[in-house]
Amino acid sequence: MKTVKQVMVELKKKGDAQTRKTYARHGMPEDTFGVKIADLKLIAKKIKGNQALACELYETGNYDAMYLAGIVADGSQMTKKQLESWAKTATCAMLSEYTVPGVASESPHAQALAMKWIRSKTESIASSGWNTYTGIIATTPDEDLDLEEIKSLLDRVAREVHQAPNKVRYTMNGFVIAVGSYVKPLLKKAKQVAKKVGVVSVDMGDTACKVPQALTYIEKIESAGRVGKKRKTIKC
């Protein structure tokens, strides 16, 4: 498969009605074939390394193609303009909260974009910003992180989370969990903020998804001795 047309034909073949129904409950747009993520990953292996094709797939506006693009694309090769475009054109939370941060966190522009997006008044873009910073935290050695900036973001969560837009609340909560899980020097601070914040209420729609309680989650990681264990990528 070397062209968008060939990939779209393959995606259409792999789609099914039941998956489309499931995706609809999770807020995915109508423009989707309903391809399971496991099948998307198999297709991704066939076009691995084709950066240009990945970018073309994202531009189709089809959910399956856009998610596939995020698996294939190398964020370190993308321009700031491309990443900004991906954030602006994400058509659902799955893309704005996972696909966009997955590539953006690989970029040399990751930190600047994360901070810019966090300040956005647009819910989906702000969500991309918080999760991009979560990706930076999860994959970057502590000595290379701006700990003062991260502390200021924790303070911002403590002040604003309960008044923030719905999905921004979700990603702010995830940010606190990430700091407590991945940044040893800020474990104590993250736990303090998590305790202050308490339960974060988020409307997850017609799904069984739940919002993890940050302090409980961090304490589980701590008791398992996994605090500070970094990931290679946040792509999933």
State the CB neighbour count (10 A cutoff) for residue 232. 7
Share the mean pLDDT of the chain: 97
What pLDDT, on the 0 to 100 scale, is given for residue 106? 98
Q: For residue range 183-201, what is the model confidence (pLDDT) as tens digits?
A: 999 999 999 999 999 999 9
pLDDT of residue 207: 82
pLDDT of residue 172: 99
Cβ pair 91, 63 in contact under 8 A: yes
Could you tell me if 1 and 57 are in contact, meaning their C-beta atoms sit under 8 angstroms apart?
no
CA dist., res. 81 & res. 73, Å (int)? 15
CA distance 150 to 70: 26
pLDDT for the residue 2: 85
Longest CA span, the chain: 52
**Cβ-contact 159, 194 below 8 angstroms:** no
Taking phi first (over 0 means left), then psi (-120 to 50 degrees means alpha), and beta for anything else, what does residue 126 get?
Answer: alpha
10 Å Cβ neighbour count for 176? 29
Domain coordinates in residue numbering, the chain: 1-73, 80-236
Which pLDDT belongs to residue 149? Answer: 99
Half-sphere exposure of 188 (CA within 13 A, CB side): 1
Instruction: Please state, in angstroms and rounded to a whole number, the distance separating the CA atoms of residues 97 and 128.
Output: 5
Q: Who contacts 94 (Cβ-Cβ below 8 Å, separation ≥6)?
A: 26, 27, 28, 63, 67
Average of per-residue pLDDT across 106-123: 98
pLDDT per residue over 117-172, tens digit each? 999 999 999 999 999 999 999 999 999 999 999 999 999 999 999 999 999 999 99
Confidence bin at 75 (pLDDT 50/70/90): very high
Interatomic CA distance for residues 117 and 177, integer angstroms: 19
Encode pLDDT of 200-236 as tens digits. 999 988 888 899 999 999 999 999 999 999 999 999 7
